[in-house]
Chain A
Amino acid sequence: DTEVTQTPKHLVMGMTNKKSLKCEQHMGHRAMYWYKQKAKKPPELMFVYSYEKLSINESVPSRFSPECPNSSLLNLHLHALQPEDSALYLCASSPSRGVSYEQYFGPGTRLTVT
């Protein structure tokens, strides 16, 4: 299995809602990433997990809360989001050894905050 899967594909939520995005990979990768991508912009790194521990937080607001329950799963919990948080949220994974820049992306969750 060489895929990164993400659910849901689309999500519409109000500013007072709590929702979660889910990412799964079965490639044995031990590093997983969350990126945010606005329309016609490059992906922006949010969080990096290495061996299920948070290793990088790019000063992301606390309304985004990542979680890595095990080596295959990555969640992003969302609470009290703003309309400007509407974007494509991408999950990626990479092998733990060798080139960690060799990242494999999922299809993304398109989030709309109303």
Chain B
Amino acid sequence: QKEVEQDPGPLSVPEGAIVSLNCTYSNSAFQYFMWYRQYSRKGPELLMYTYSSGNKEDGRFTAQVDKSSKYISLFIRDSQPSDSATYLCAPGANSKLTFGKGITLSVRP
């Protein structure tokens, strides 16, 4: 079993939709749960992160972690065409990030 599994894509939604992006993990040592966004041919950009279990909201984005079920989620409300990118979950432990494979999101105008 891979340490981090991310829902396969790609995902295509109409503008204004609510998007749910999900990952599962197996390593109980993970304490920080990062979400990165990567536009085509660019470096990853830190979107937001949570520490341990719980929710964190930042504008249209909400990150959620359930450590009991080892489940990580990112919700995007009122999705915009500019949200079209690859989203990578990346839990961290021992000073290292472990990236999921990424899911490519396309928001149709």
Q: How far is the CA of A104 from the CA of B101 in the complex (A)?
A: 19
A-B interface contact total, Cβ < 8 Å: 53
The complex places the Cα of A104 from the Cα of B42 at a distance, in Å, of: 12
* A105 and B96 contact, CB distance less than 8 A: no
Bound: A18/B66 CA distance, A: 47
**B 49-88 binary contact with A (CB < 8 Å = 1; else 0):** 1010000000000000000000000000000000000001
In chain A, positions 27-69 with a C-beta closer than 8 Å to chain B are 40-45, 48, 50, 55-56
B side interface size, CB within 8 A: 21
Inter-chain contact A90/B100, CB cutoff 8 Å: no
| Cβ-defined partner of A99 (8 Å) among B49, B96, B101 | B49
- Are A101 and B90 within 8 A (Cβ)? yes
Please count how many residues in chain A sit with their CB below 8 Å of the partner chain's CB atoms: 24
Tell me, in angstroms, the Cα distance from A48 to B90 when the chains sit together. Answer: 17
Among residues of B, the one whose C-beta sits closest to the C-beta of A99 is B32
B binding-site residues for A, Cβ under 8 Å: 32, 34, 36, 41-46, 49, 51, 88, 90, 92, 95-97, 99-102
- Given A42-B88, A100-B92, A101-B90, 9 other A-B residues pairs in contact with their CB atoms under 8 A: A42-B99, A55-B95, A56-B96, A92-B43, A101-B97, A103-B46, A105-B43, A105-B44, A105-B45
